[in-house]
């Protein structure tokens, strides 16, 4: 993949859910009521404090909760009080913006574990992260080519993830660990009343926004559930790894593809290229084993082969990562 163009971060943060427990307590309450669950006998079995909505300019908001001990922020702090989020901030700036929102409400900023222990004693753990959305913009060259990219992605499959799509506007894959999403940014901005000049830029460049929602389970596996362990480089590495399927080259139109495949898998590959339903030919175990191998050669035998489909592989290979252009007004956006 080519180097990013423009200034700023090629990969940025578009959502943060973080919570810090302060064992000393005594913090100001910041709630929007309490949700209680009762059993058949009328006994309260569960209570949960509800986060309050904090509203900024340009119809932006985040949610903040404090019950006197625990402080949480849920939302997109980089987007808060900005007219757009065509581009957003990296990790450290996002953390700083989250802290600014909390401090403006009279609440303590998020701390890493070392800082929390130094200030509050060994019982303190620092802030924990339960969701981060990592995002990148890619230029397809035109809105028509962006549509083709989304259609191509809609035909892909990702192991152990459910797929959904909305025409040629967006496609997503999800499971309990993370969610992958790609969509035409110009169409999304137009639907939400974005600024005309930015919509024109997004559509003219054919911007495809790719997002990775890192959920609690995956963050824990990666050691990124502690706020002090998160870095821009780690998020960029995770983003690159998780979006590999979106950047894979479709080689099924290459004339020498059969010769490049190991001999024992060529019959299956040739049958799929001819439009046959491979699921009717192989047992489930053999099907999934061969599917795993053939994906390395750009062939997905788990998906129906449409011989007449428009080959968009060139557009996929040439997607260029974008950062904010020189004219993008960060002062206005901050």
The b/e string for 303-325 (b: 16+ C-beta within 10 A; e otherwise) is eebeeeeeebbebbeebbbbbbe
User: What pLDDT does residue 3 have?
Assistant: 43
User: What pLDDT does residue 320 have?
Assistant: 82
Question: pLDDT by residue (tens digit) across 73-99?
Answer: 999 999 999 989 899 999 999 999 999
Dihedrals phi, psi of 110, to nearest 5 degrees: -70, 140
What letter does residue 4 receive in the DSSP assignment?
P
The reply to whether 91 and 199 lie within a common domain is yes
The reply to whether 127 and 239 lie within a common domain is yes
Query: Contact at 8 Å (CB) between 189 and 180?
Result: no
User: What pLDDT does residue 318 have?
Assistant: 62
Give the 3-state secondary structure of residue 20.
strand
Instruction: Work out how many domains the chain is built from and give that number.
Output: 2
Structure tokens that stand for 70 in this block: 């625990």
The reply to whether 239 and 288 lie within a common domain is no
Which residues make Cβ contacts (< 8 Å) with residue 253, sequence separation at least 6?
311, 313
Q: Could you tell me the sign of the dihedral formed by the alpha carbons of 84, 244, 162, 128, in that order?
A: negative
Residue 166 lies in a domain: yes
Over its C-alpha atoms, the chain yields an Rg (Å, rounded) of: 23
The reply to whether 143 and 209 lie within a common domain is yes
User: What pLDDT does residue 152 have?
Assistant: 79
The reply to whether 295 and 329 lie within a common domain is no
The reply to whether 87 and 186 lie within a common domain is yes
User: What pLDDT does residue 150 have?
Assistant: 86
Compute the distance between CA of residue 47 and CA of residue 299 in angstroms, rounded to an integer: 50
HSE-CB for 73 with a 13 A CA cutoff: 31
What is the helix (H) or strand (E) element at residue 132, kind and residue range? strand 127-139
Compute the distance between CA of residue 113 and CA of residue 234 in angstroms, rounded to an integer: 18
What residues make up the domain containing 129? 11-248+317-333
Task: Count CB neighbours of 24 within 10 A.
Answer: 11
The reply to whether 321 and 306 lie within a common domain is no
Residue 3 lies in a domain: no
Give the 3-state secondary structure of residue 97.
helix
The reply to whether 261 and 327 lie within a common domain is no
Compute the distance between CA of residue 150 and CA of residue 169 in angstroms, rounded to an integer: 7
The reply to whether 291 and 185 lie within a common domain is no
Structure tokens that stand for 171 in this block: 């496609």
Residue 1 lies in a domain: no
Residue 63 lies in a domain: yes
Q: Cα 123–106–47 angle (5° rounding)? A: 60
Query: Contact at 8 Å (CB) between 135 and 211?
Result: yes
Q: Which residues of the chain are modeled with pLDDT < 70?
A: 1-9, 34, 247-257, 305-318, 331-334
């Amino acid at each position: 993949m080519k180097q990013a163009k423009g200034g700023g971060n090629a990969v940025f943060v578009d959502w943060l859910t973080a919570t810090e427990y302060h064992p000393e307590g005594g913090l100001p309450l910041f709630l929007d009521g309490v949700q209680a669950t009762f059993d058949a006998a009328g006994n309260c079995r569960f209570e949960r404090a509800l986060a309050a909505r904090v509203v900024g300019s340009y119809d932006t908001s985040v949610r903040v909760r404090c019950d006197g001990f625990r402080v949480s922020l849920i939302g997109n702090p980089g987007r808060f009080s900005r007219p757009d989020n065509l581009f957003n901030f990296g990790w450290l700036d996002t953390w700083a913006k989250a802290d600014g929102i909390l401090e403006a409400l009279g609440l303590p900023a998020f701390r890493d574990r070392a800082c929390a222990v130094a200030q509050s004693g060994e019982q303190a753990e620092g802030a924990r992260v339960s969701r981060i959305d990592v995002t990148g913009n890619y230029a397809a060259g035109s809105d028509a080519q962006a549509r083709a990219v989304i259609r191509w992605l809609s035909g892909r499959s990702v192991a152990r993830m459910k797929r959904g799509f909305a025409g040629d506007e967006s496609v997503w894959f999800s499971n309990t660990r993370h969610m992958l999403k790609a969509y035409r940014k110009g169409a999304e901005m137009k639907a939400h009343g974005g600024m005309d000049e930015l919509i024109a830029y997004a559509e003219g460049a054919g911007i495809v926004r790719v997002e990775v929602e890192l959920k609690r389970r995956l963050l824990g596996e990666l050691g990124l559930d502690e706020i002090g362990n998160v870095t821009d480089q780690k998020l960029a590495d995770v983003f690159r790894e998780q979006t590999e399927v979106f950047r894979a080259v479709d080689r099924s139109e290459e004339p020498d593809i059969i010769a490049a495949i190991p001999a024992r898998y060529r019959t299956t590959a040739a049958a799929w290229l001819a439009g046959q339903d491979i699921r009717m030919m192989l047992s489930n175990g053999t099907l999934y084993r061969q599917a795993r191998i053939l994906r390395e050669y750009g062939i997905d035998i788990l998906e129906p082969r449409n011989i007449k489909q428009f080959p968009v592989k060139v557009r996929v290979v040439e997607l260029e990562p974008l950062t904010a252009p020189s004219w993008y007004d960060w002062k206005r956006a901050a």
